[in-house]
Amino acid sequence: MEAIHPVFCTIVPPHVLDKLARAEDPALAGPARRTLEADAQQRTHRRLTTVIGAPSLAPSPGAADNKVHRLIHDAQHKTDLPGKVVRKEGAEPFKDATVNRAYAGLGATFELLLKAFGRNSIDGEGMPLIASVHFDRDYGNAFWDGEQMVFGDGDGEIFLDFTLPVDVMGHELAHGVTQHTANFSYFGQPGALNESMSDVIGSLVKQYVNDQTAAEADWLIGQGLLAERVQGVALRSMKAPGTAYDDDVLGKDPQPATMDDYVTTGRDNGGVHINSGIPNHAFYLLADALGGKAWERAGQIWYDTLTAGTLSTTPTFADFAQATVAASRARYHDGEETQALLKAWEQVGVPTTQKKAKL
Ligand SMILES: [Zn+2]
């Protein structure tokens, strides 16, 4: 079995926090700097525990009962994880709405994975879902650390409570699914595919919770997370990458929708939160063309691709696109699904035919 490489994945990308940290207003720059510092600490912690071997937070054996097993902690504004247990599976709602939102969001993600894809939790074997809320003070991020979910409260100036958008929870837990399946590395195009897979599943969780069709969905990631003063609607848009925000302090959403605008950068792990706009948009185009509930056919093709075991841990966009076509042909043959899929990849400029081998 291939080793699992947990990645430290935050929902707010570093380029946004970097920009905030340089803001003139100390009320904005202070929390962003603190968040960047906390993220750096967590990254180092992950590296060490990956090498040494972390004490597992999830010791209970995989439950085969296809039921969700949640455990919500309160980090009490500290950075020690996981913090104090505040709501266990089946317990009555807690007095803290943040705790209850995290509980509900983990449940919604579990349900989508099970009902849409027949997957029993993140690892497919009933892994308990663990989360901590109220991480640090004014912490402007949420992350999956390889074992659990962590949510900040935001600073209230730019970011609100990170448990507000259910797709943010779905996004982070989906990093766990990727880690346990295709295990894409977290740099360059494989990293952007890792990010995109999380946006796709996150958006599907939201659509599932709201019982929306592809046409009804907003296809935004993190809608409701930005404070009122921010000129923007969300962190990303799958329908129209590059249009989620355009703000004096935050800057402009840098996501491309097609390969023509592909961004070559060494920052953000080679633009993992930037170029993810391209596969995100391909998924949106497919779901939009097929209509109906996006998790049913478009989502199934993406999930089949993720779990087929045919991709390396470092696929290019073209490798991934070709694998989606193979997955679609396996399930839907040359039906409208495969035709719409080929068209979607063509629209974003990612080739789906094998390049001829160099002689
Ligand atoms: Zn992510």
CATH number at 323 reads 1.10.390.10
Same domain, 226 and 87: no
In a domain, 132, yes or no: yes
Give a yes or no: residue 138 inside a domain. yes
Q: Show which of 179, 202, 235 is a domain's final residue.
A: 179
54: DSSP letter:
P
Identify the band that residue 204 occupies on the pLDDT scale cut at 50, 70 and 90: very high
CA of 356 to the centre of ligand 1 (A): 34
Domain count, the chain: 2
Q: Are strands 129-133 and 149-151 parallel, antiparallel or unpaired?
A: parallel
Final residue of a structural domain among 179, 196, 223 = 179
Give just the sign of the alpha carbon dihedral 160, 165, 166, 168. negative
Q: Is the dihedral of CA 33, 39, 42, 44 positive or negative?
A: negative
Give the pLDDT band (50/70/90) at residue 8. Answer: confident
Q: What CATH number does residue 93 fall under?
A: 3.10.170.10
Asked whether residue 222 falls in the same domain as residue 282, the answer is: yes
13 CA to centre of ligand 1 in angstroms: 8
- Residues of the domain holding 229: 188-348
Question: Is residue 216 located within the same domain as residue 163?
Answer: no
Q: Is the pLDDT of residue 86 over 90?
A: yes
Long-range contacts of 17-24 (CB under 8 A, 24+ apart): 17/140, 17/141, 19/249, 19/250, 19/251, 20/140, 20/158, 20/249, 20/250, 23/249
Kindly list the protein residues that place their beta carbon closer than 5 angstroms to ligand 1, a single-atom ion.
9, 198
User: How do residues 277-318 score in pLDDT, each as one tens digit?
Assistant: 999 999 999 999 999 999 999 999 999 999 999 999 999 999
- The answer on 206 and 114 residing in a single domain is no
Q: Please say if the pLDDT value at position 357 is more than 90.
A: no
Provide the annotated active-site residues: 172, 273
Q: What is the pTM of this model?
A: 0.92
Q: Does residue 281 lie in a domain region? A: yes
- Per mean pLDDT, which range of 12-16, 136-140, 211-215, 306-310 is the poorest? 12-16
Query: Which range among 3-12, 121-130, 306-315 shows the weakest confidence by mean pLDDT?
Result: 3-12
What pLDDT band is residue 45 in, cutting at 50, 70 and 90? confident
Which residues contact residue 164 at a Cβ distance below 8 angstroms, ignoring those fewer than 6 apart? 101, 224, 225
Ligand 1 center–CA 195 separation, angstroms: 5
| 42 and 173 together in one domain | yes
| CA nearest neighbour of 284 among 207, 211, 230 | 207
* Cα 176 to ligand 1 centre (Å): 10
pLDDT given for residue 344 in this prediction:
98
* Residue 355 included in any domain: no
- State whether 87 and 17 are in the same domain: yes
Cα(297) to centroid of ligand 1, in Å?
A: 23
121 plus 256 within the same structural domain: no
| Domain membership flag for residue 153 | yes
- Tell whether 104 and 193 lie within a shared domain: no
Cα of 76 to ligand 1 centre, how many Å? Answer: 24
Bridge partners (DSSP) listed for residue 85: 73
In a domain, 276, yes or no: yes
